[in-house]
A and B are shown apart, each in its own frame.
Chain A
């Protein structure tokens, strides 16, 4: 049915909050490239996963972990064989409070020189799980627990930190890649080897099995052009 090639479709993509920025840029490029529109819904991976379980009309799921896309594949809601890693996430310890200007963010964390540390919810958000894992490995978890504030997703953790309500935040590197975002008073890029890797996977949802636009978007995600954009946002490639 070659007459359908020029037909412009809309792909509904559920995106983990950390990837919202790059996903919007990718959507723009994909539109130029294919003529298909991408409609983005951002939230914690856990929330989006639960929504897909209940029949949410998403065509593609871009999770912040590999666990949930894998589960979707197993229970038949994800199309098997379409799952792949599109990025490796990067945690950053960041502050916007003037009092930490020029300070060593990691030392502030270790010395408990702060009131609140914002993280994403460790159960529903993979970045929260990675933050917890990292602090557990450093032996800091028990000490910081009483100072934790939890964002529903990494977007809220970032907003708690950027507004200065939380002194420190463990956020995604991609969230700082925006010219409107101030540099902050201190930042520490968490070594990836110190926590379980944030392997971000995408999967085609069963309802879009025959949706060519959705399949084209997944192909586009693996292109050179996409790789360049993803890296520009502070991710590494798998």
Chain B
């Protein structure tokens, strides 16, 4: 684990943010796949309410999520109590707690691109796979996933980038612990508040460049392909 210093001032928080965003993206892609698939195929009553719930983190203030997270993850909260009995440690102020909070925070940014990609997969190609004797799960991995690669790339980049930029929720449930919960956005906030603008500039510039590159990549992947 890199300290606060590392190769350059702020390398520790940056590395922590990358770990957090990586873990969150991985979990969300795994959990989000069946959820997005179900949303793309079901015509049942529950589809609309579930879509609304998935999209909620886009419109909710981070303080609302942070507040509920602190209660949920706290030693008296349902999830926190369970974790405490399991690991003997509280979930609030921990990296694991941040991963849980980030999974909620970034959920729509992963599920929605996947759902869009799945919706674009035609029923006919699935039927063809079924006719050829593929079980649904095989058909999913051999037909749907390859056709949804752009959706997966978009979901992963959006989930990663959005988690990297997470601030409000972490400010409320993180406790600013170096190496555990002091992520890059919190470190920037800290540097600005303590008038250490040199460090704030460095870390902000890194995030600025990263945000541009991530979006550039997304627009490149999803650019309209004209037939020549």
**What is A's interface to B at a CB cutoff of 8 Å?**
44, 46-47, 50, 53, 97, 115-116, 118, 121, 123-124, 148-152, 160, 163-166
Write out the residue numbers on chain A whose beta carbons fall within 8 Å of the beta carbon of B89.
115
Q: Which residues of B contact A46 (CB under 8 A)?
A: 193-195
Which A residues are in CB contact (< 8 Å) with B73?
165
What is the predominant secondary structure among interface residues of chain A facing chain B? loop
Q: How far is the CA of A31 from the CA of B189 in the complex (A)?
A: 35
B177 touching A164 by the CB < 8 A rule?
Answer: no
Contact (A165, B177) CB under 8 Å given A46-B193, A149-B93: no
Q: Are B175 and A150 in contact (CB under 8 A)?
A: yes
Whether the Cβ atoms of A164 and B76 lie closer than 8 Å is yes
Per-position contact with A for B184-198: 1 when CB-CB < 8 Å, else 0? 000001101111000
Residue of A44, A53, A97, A148 most packed against chain B (CB within 10 A): A148
Q: Digitize B67-98: 1 where CB-to-A-CB distance is under 8 Å, 0 elsewhere.
A: 00011011110000000000001101100000
Please give, as numbers and ranges, the residues of chain B lying within 8 Å of A148 by CB-CB distance: 175, 177
Given contacts A50-B192, A121-B190, contact A166 B76 (CB under 8 A): no
Chain A residues with CB under 8 Å of B195's CB are 46, 50, 53
Contact partners of B176 in chain A: CB under 8 A: 121, 149-152
- Residue B211 CB within 8 A of the other chain: no
Interchain CB contact under 8 A, A150 and B193: no
* Contact A149 to B192, CB < 8 A, known contacts A115-B90, A163-B71, A165-B90: no
Say whether A149 contacts B193, CB under 8 Å. Answer: no
B74, B189, B192, B193: which contacts A165 (Cβ < 8 A)?
Answer: B74
Does B192 lie within 8 Å of A166, measured CB to CB? no
B-chain residues with CB within 8 Å of residue A152 when the two chains form the complex: 171, 176, 189, 193
Q: Once bound together, how far apart are the Cα atoms of A160 and B189, in whole Å?
A: 19
Q: Smallest Cβ distance from A53 to chain B, in angstroms? A: 8
Residue of B nearest to A123 (CB): B194
Contact, CB under 8 Å: A165 / B194: no
Minimum CB–CB distance from A43 to chain B (whole Å) comes to 9
Smallest distance from the beta carbon of B27 to chain A beta carbons, Å?
23
Residue of B70, B74, B189, B193 most packed against chain A (CB within 10 A):
B193
- Cα A148 to Cα B90 in complex, Å, equals 13
Q: Is the CB of A165 within 8 A of B171?
A: no
Known A123-B194, A164-B75, A165-B73; 17 more pairs at CB < 8 Å: A46-B193, A116-B90, A121-B176, A121-B193, A123-B193, A124-B193, A148-B175, A149-B93, A149-B177, A150-B175, A151-B175, A152-B189, A152-B193, A164-B76, A165-B70, A165-B75, A166-B175
Give the nearest-CB partner of A148 in chain B. B177
Q: Which 10 A-B pairs have the closest CB atoms?
A: A149-B175, A150-B176, A165-B92, A123-B194, A165-B74, A124-B193, A149-B93, A47-B193, A46-B193, A164-B76
- Among residues of A, the one whose C-beta sits closest to the C-beta of B175 is A149
Q: With the chains together, A166 CA to B171 CA distance in Å? A: 15
Residues A150 and B177 in contact, CB atoms below 8 Å apart: yes
CA distance A74 to B71 in the complex (A): 44
The closest CB in chain B to the CB of A47 belongs to B193
* Whole-angstrom CA separation of A199 from B195 in the bound complex: 22
**A163 B193 Cβ-Cβ under 8 A:** no
Query: Which of A97, A116, A124 interacts with B175 by CB under 8 Å?
Result: A116
30 pairs of residues in contact across A and B, judged by CB atoms under 8 Å: A46-B195, A47-B193, A50-B192, A50-B195, A53-B195, A97-B75, A115-B89, A115-B90, A116-B93, A116-B175, A121-B176, A121-B190, A121-B193, A123-B190, A123-B193, A124-B190, A124-B193, A148-B175, A150-B176, A151-B176, A152-B193, A160-B175, A163-B70, A163-B71, A163-B74, A164-B75, A164-B76, A165-B70, A165-B74, A165-B92
What's the Cα separation between A165 and B72 when bound, in Å?
10
Closest Cβ–Cβ distance, residue B127 to chain A (whole Å):
53
Q: 0/1 per residue, B173-186, Cβ < 8 Å to A?
A: 00111000000000
Instruction: Give bound CA distance, A163 to B92, whole Å.
Output: 11
Interface 1/0s, chain B 152-188, versus A by CB < 8 A?
0000000000000000000100011100000000000
- The residue of chain B having its C-beta at the shortest distance from the C-beta of A146 within the complex is B177
